[in-house]
Amino acid sequence: MKVLIVEDDHKIAQNIKKGLEQENFSVDLTFDGGQGYDFASQEEYDVIILDLMLPEMSGIEICKKLRAENNHTPILMLTARDQIEDKVLGLNSGADDYLPKPFAFTELLARIKALSRRPKQSLQTKLEFKNLTLDTITYKVERSGREINLSKKEFSLLEYLMRHPRQILNKDQIINNVWNFDADILPNTVEVYIGYLRNKIDKPFSNEPSLIQTIRGFGYKLDEK
């Protein structure tokens, strides 16, 4: 799952980022509204965590602009202000949920997962392709009923492939959706991690069809060979 955090309090923002990355999320982070809007309008995210009071452009302004552009990514609004009128203002601007500071990380995490599960976003928590299954809540991966242990990044890569079955995904698409915006990615990083997945998803199941396919010159896809 890919999340954008737009929060000008550096300590709060970094703590949220660290906590979400420990939960296997890919996280982009920015500290001002102008850059936050640029990220939100140009990249694809599963959830946006948006502070109400921001330099350059407020959370309300960002929210209104995104909704006017038919960007329906779920938005969780954060603020130190907990007056009823502020909550109403945030929700009326297009936010999907509202969480006043201070808050417990466990509550923030629960809100994010609830937003990502909304049917209108078509984000299932249990993915299945042929005899391969992945659960985004328990982080459990199985093939033919046999559990497969993946690293956090391997899990994120497999989740992205399983959310786009039979679609050819190029390296830029994979990097933008699996790695953080500011991650130091080498040219062969995607190839390396595809190799890691093959070693765990396909090679131990030599009597079954390979599922991770390379489309030379184009990218990769999850399909049955």
Summarised one tens digit per residue, pLDDT across range 93-141 is 788 888 888 888 988 998 898 887 765 444 567 889 999 999 887 889 9
Judge if pTM exceeds 0.75: no
Residues 99 and 7 in one domain: yes
Residues 159 and 48 in one domain: no
Is pLDDT above 70 for 149? yes
Tokens for 199? 């070693």
Tokens for 160? 């992205």
d(CA 14, CA 22): 12
Q: What is the CATH number of the domain that holds 154?
A: 1.10.10.10
Running DSSP on this structure, what letter comes out for residue 137? T
Tokens for 209? 């069809």
Number of domains in the chain: 2
Residues 56 and 77 in one domain: yes
Residues 116 and 156 in one domain: no
Express as a percent the part of the chain with pLDDT over 90: 56
Task: Examine the fold and report which residue of 68, 94, 121 is the final residue of a domain before the chain moves on.
Answer: 121
Residues 15 and 82 in one domain: yes
pLDDT of residue 84: 55
Residues 53 and 135 in one domain: no
Running DSSP on this structure, what letter comes out for residue 105? H
pLDDT of residue 120: 44
pLDDT of residue 177: 76
Residues 78 and 51 in one domain: yes
Residues 90 and 155 in one domain: no
Burial of 110 (0-12, 13-18, 19+ CB in 10 A): exposed
pLDDT in tens, 9-55: 999 999 999 999 998 899 999 999 999 999 999 988 999 999 988 99
Residues 136 and 117 in one domain: no
Inter-residue contact 2 to 116 (CB < 8 Å): no
Task: Examine the fold and report which residue of 121, 147, 174 is the final residue of a domain before the chain moves on.
Answer: 121
Q: What is the CATH number of the domain that holds 86?
A: 3.40.50.2300
Domain that includes residue 7, residue range: 2-121
Q: How many helices (H) and strands (E) does the chain have?
A: 8, 11
Residues 135 and 87 in one domain: no
Task: Examine the fold and report which residue of 67, 89, 121 is the final residue of a domain before the chain moves on.
Answer: 121
Inter-residue contact 157 to 150 (CB < 8 Å): no
Which range among 75-79, 172-176, 216-220 shows the weakest confidence by mean pLDDT? 172-176
Is pLDDT above 50 for 173? yes
Residues 111 and 134 in one domain: no
Is pLDDT above 80 for 208? yes
Residues 112 and 73 in one domain: yes
Helix (H) or strand (E) holding 106: helix 105-116
Rounded to the nearest angstrom, the gap between the alpha carbon of residue 84 and the centroid of all alpha carbons in its chain is 30
Find the largest Cα–Cα distance for the chain: 62
